[in-house]
Chain A
Amino acid sequence: MLDAIRDVVRKSSIHVCIVNCGGCNGCDVECVALLSPRYDLEQYGIYVHNNPREADVLLLTGAVTEQWVDNLKRIYDKAPEPKIAVAVGNCPVSGDVFNQEGGHVHAPASNFIPVAAEIPGCPPRPSEILEAILAVGPQAIADRGRERQ
């Protein structure tokens, strides 16, 4: 009974934190576009906090630069359970154009923290990001919440 109530609450209200681990800001701009009246993220019960301590979903953007290797783990640890990380754009997935020979990026981000979903695109459309969060987020959070017990 308590689990069921928790699931309902966790599924219907998702708090998001955008973590830019060394990217070009393109995906961050698309995430900001999600907040605009045109896409209106909050009608789906998603809130952007930019504070990992309140976040259920970490939106990773950027190709994990050297300074972010340790900090990414720290930020992930700070987020309360249950939590998931979603890679937005190509950078956290493959390193994209920054992953050249002799480059100093440590993509993919899944080497350091568990990544639940990947959204390809450089940058992905706001609607694609929204779709991915809604498709993966609620169930993943609920499942993770049960795992912990």
Chain B
Amino acid sequence: MSSLIWYIYDFARKAWTDAFADAKTSPEIAEKPERFRDFPKVNKEYCIGCGACTVSCPSPNAIKIVREKDDETGEGLTYPVITPGACIRCGFCAEVCPTEPKTLECGLNHLILPEFNIIPSKRQYIIDDYLCIKCKKCMKKCPVGAISLVDGKMFVDQLKCISCGECLEVCPVNGAMKGVFVDNLQDQKDLILLCVNYLEDYINNKEEDLRALEKDGLLQYEVPLADFWDEAIKIIPDDEVALEIITNAVNRLKIRIIDWDKDKCKKCQLCIPDCPTKCISFDEKEDTIVRDKNRCLRCSICYQTCPFSVIKYFIAKFSLEDDKIIYTTVKASNLNEDIFME
């Protein structure tokens, strides 16, 4: 009996009754979370009336494009109207909306954001299966176990990779493990093109050296990188990235060069029909044979065809180390001599 009275006394305390009466769901549960994708917000003034949102919408009655009445100030605005009773808040309309800034805004949409990457790294590590010798050193070295053998090929799981670069250091084959830059592929192509064009022009301008070159002789030049560094940095404004791209390209580069002395040319025109891209032509006014550099494949067919050995064919290789000088080696092709030997 005493315990019952104690209970009644306990429940009748003011603090308890107040707490009981005020019991509420905490506001953070009742409110929408910050990242919640609510109904799309329409910014009327940006709409161009393209209708992409209505096409992308999975629900038949959710979006209607309406046009306001024309008045003295001009044409009435055209804009989408969202019906909440049919909208499923998927955010597709905001995703396809082509205007800038967007007419339709619909929360944080993962497909609008750039590709998800755990580590903000400029590099993506990939393995060249052609060069890889499957020594599995990278697999053992990887601190997060991102590298594995899949279908007999080494494979880097990009979601696990933390871009530490350990695999690149441990790889015994030069070029099998690659840390490639993935953001600016077109800029990288432009940079390599600039570099190759500069080197080819540089060698082509040494006409006397090329024509005086003996059969087994070598020409050696030192081309400072600074000559075209300013232009390179304009294409990719990151010193480290630009230098690495040029180094990789130049060290693997092999340029073939075609050159002939126009004075010695006998104008027999035998090379013209043999050219596979028809880039060699006979200029009747000037009485010379001309070659269109941009269409030439450097295939050496003209060099092999020329009966007077006027057309010369050279192979150039390059090496770029830390001292920022491109060491260039040019040697004459011995293709014709081999044929004579046989």
Contact = CB atoms under 8 A, between A and B. Distances in A.
Q: Which of A39, A40, A121, A122 has the most CB of B within 10 A?
A: A122
Interface stretch (A8-16, A73-81, A89-97): A89-97
B29 A122 contact: no
B25 A121 contact: no
A111 interface: no
Nearest to B88: A122
Nearest to A99: B60
Contacts of A96: 59, 86, 88
Interface string B1-44: 00000000000000000000001010001111000100100000
B29 A94 contact: no
B85 interface: yes
Given A118-B85, A120-B84, A122-B87, A95 B61 contact: yes
Given A43-B25, A99-B61, A94 B89 contact: no
A97 B29 contact: no
B33 to A, nearest CB: 9
Interface residues of A, number: 20
A90 B30 contact: no
Interface string A3-39: 0000000000000000000000000000000000011
A90 B83 CA distance: 10
Interface string A89-122: 0100111110111000000000000000010111
18 contacts: A38-B29, A40-B25, A43-B23, A90-B87, A93-B86, A95-B60, A95-B86, A96-B86, A97-B88, A99-B86, A101-B60, A120-B39, A120-B87, A121-B84, A122-B59, A122-B88, A125-B32, A127-B31
Interface of A: 38-40, 43, 90, 93-97, 99-101, 118, 120-122, 125, 127, 130
Closest 10 CB pairs of A and B: A122-B88, A120-B84, A93-B85, A94-B86, A94-B85, A127-B30, A97-B59, A120-B85, A94-B61, A97-B58
